[in-house]
Amino acid sequence: MKEGLRTLPHNRPGTVHIVGAGPGDPELITLKALRCIQGADVIMYDRLVNEQLLQHAKKGAQLHYCGKAPGLHSVPQEQIQKQMAEYALSGLDVVRLKGGDPFIFGRGGEEAGEMAAKGIPYEIIPGVTAAAGAASSSGIPLTHRGCSTSVALVSGTCCSENSTGVRWDLLAQSVDTLVIYMGVSNMPEISRALVNGGRPKSTPAAIVEQGTCPEERVITGTLGNIHQIASALHVQNPALIIVGDVVLVREQLLQLAAAAQERTG
């Protein structure tokens, strides 16, 4: 953390920018998001944010790590929101920098709600969500003519103790492509629920680990065996699960590229 800033004289709160940093590759940041980072007095960033983006912060900006790992939260969400509000009410411009897109499994709506309740001006800056980034990077289109005209983005964990959970039985046959966030630790249960809901065990499935990053790894299989393959290969978060016939397009693209390479020598 850098040295703290003095409270600025002000007649109004600072602005809070809730910013999507994209899925990992720092070059996938938007121009608007980059301008927000460059102008911020305070940047509160998450675990999945590529820290290369922090190099764009202005001199003297405060940098605060607010990362959350599965089962281990560095700073509770309520405390993060309280700190955001306190900085803004002291006249500082705040960037809340979040991996992916802040409104897709990013709790950006909760943070926006807190700012709205306190009368603090805020702006949501969208980012490339992990589904789009990891799928494109791995060569798996989420929609594809002839095999997928619908996509669902699904959380692989329950949002709260009071949640009834995802209706896998309804999703199993109603959506062509399923993209499952935060589902690695629950893969056996998710696979079983989808199969029980009528999705064939032979349905192609993939896991994209560290999508868009140099360490990216793509693992393919079927709904019936992908969790066993992932366990044998020690798949770790962050990882995204993609279920559907679109997974086969990746292999087709690889085969076409290899054939072209062979023709051209």
The residues annotated with a catalytic role in the active site are 46, 68, 182
Burial classification of residue 49, based on how many CB atoms lie within 10 Å of its CB (0-12 exposed, 13-18 middle, 19 or more buried): buried
Q: What is residue 125's DSSP assignment? A: E
Determine how β-strand 16-20 pairs with β-strand 94-98. parallel
Do 79 and 6 form a contact (C-beta atoms < 8 A)?
no
Contact 243, 229 (CB under 8 A): no
174, containing H or E segment:
helix 168-174
Q: What are phi and psi of 86, to 5 degrees?
A: -65, -45
Instruction: With beta carbons less than 8 A apart as the criterion, state whether 30 and 56 touch.
Output: no
Of 93, 122, 112, 99, nearest in space to 29 by CA: 99
- Buried b / exposed e along 66-84 (16+ C-beta atoms within 10 A): bebeeeeeeeeeeebbebb
Quick check: bond before 238 cis, omega within 30? Answer: yes
Q: From CA 167, how far away is CA 196, in angstroms rounded?
A: 12
